Amino acid sequence: MLGLKAHDSATRRRIRDILDGEDKVFGRRVAVALHALIVLTALAFAASTMPDLPDQARLILLWFERAAVAIFMVEYLLRIFAAEKPLRYILSFWGIIDLLAWMPSLFMTVGGSAAIRLLRLMQMVRTLKIIRYSRALRRLARAFNSVRAELALFYVIALFLVYISSVGIYFFEHEAQPDIFSSVPASMWWAMITLTTVGYGDAVPITLGGQIFTSLILFMGMGVFAVPAGVITSALVGRDIEEIGESLEKMETSEERARKKQMPISKN
């Protein structure tokens, strides 16, 4: 009985390693195949939106979508089977992403154009699965996770600045341009494109006060929206330093063990 349990546990661990791309024999092949499938499904979806696409091509894309959905569904079920705690995986971020990679396609026959558009949008969640199989992207995801509190604080401050900027430009420009800056919510579009230094030119201040206020907002935008890049870079560098330290510790430990094995045993 214990042997069967150990064999079952080893099988599940092997399945997890294969699906995560860590198995020495099949891991890399499976990761590359899933990478390619995710990219191809995204390209197929883009091609299916072309209005002049021949009916035969649409049929091929339809069957390709069905095949991809079947593969993603099998992968999802295998991950549930191989998970140490299946319920935790199902409710986890990656469990939800894996579910949304194939589930919406089963309900594409739901009536209503709005519902179909929403389901098609949810289908594109499967592109996030590519992060799971990329070591560099996993490092970036871990960096985001380690500084999520700082990023959350930054976004709260950014939203506060958007609101303050909208109120400020409304007071300066409402009387001069009542159609463009008709209200504070309408002015938020100007605040977004100004703080991000995009500046489409569809909403431009014409009063002296509005222009001076815009200049201040531009300087603030260049400083504030450069913060996330520095925070994430610092997290990536910190993670690299930690990994180097762990590698050095493992090397030192293995060298100490090797020296102890080579030491002669004294006889009393």
| Cα(188)–Cα(197) distance, integer angstroms | 14
pLDDT above 50: residue 111: no
User: Tell me: the pLDDT tens digits for 23-74?
Assistant: 777 767 887 888 888 888 888 877 877 888 888 988 898 888 889 888 988 9
From residue 249, give the alpha-carbon distance in Å to each of 38, 75, 244, 255, 263: 38, 37, 9, 10, 21
The residues spanned by each domain of the chain are 2-133, 134-268
User: Tell me: the pLDDT tens digits for 133-158?
Assistant: 666 666 766 777 777 777 777 778 88
pLDDT above 80: residue 262: no
pLDDT above 60: residue 5: no
Report the topology of domain 2-133: Four Helix Bundle (Hemerythrin (Met), subunit A) (1.20.120)
- CATH class of residue range 134-268: mainly alpha
pLDDT above 60: residue 164: yes
Mean pLDDT of 106-115: 55
Q: How much of the chain, in percent, has pLDDT values that exceed 90?
A: 1
The residue with tokens 């100007």 is 190
From residue 240, give the alpha-carbon distance in Å to each of 24, 90, 118, 244, 246: 24, 30, 39, 6, 10
**All residues at 6 or more sequence positions from 57 whose CB lies less than 8 Å from its CB, including other chains:** 47
User: Tell me: the pLDDT tens digits for 204-220?
Assistant: 888 888 888 888 888 87
Pick from 23-27, 99-103, 222-226: least confident = 222-226
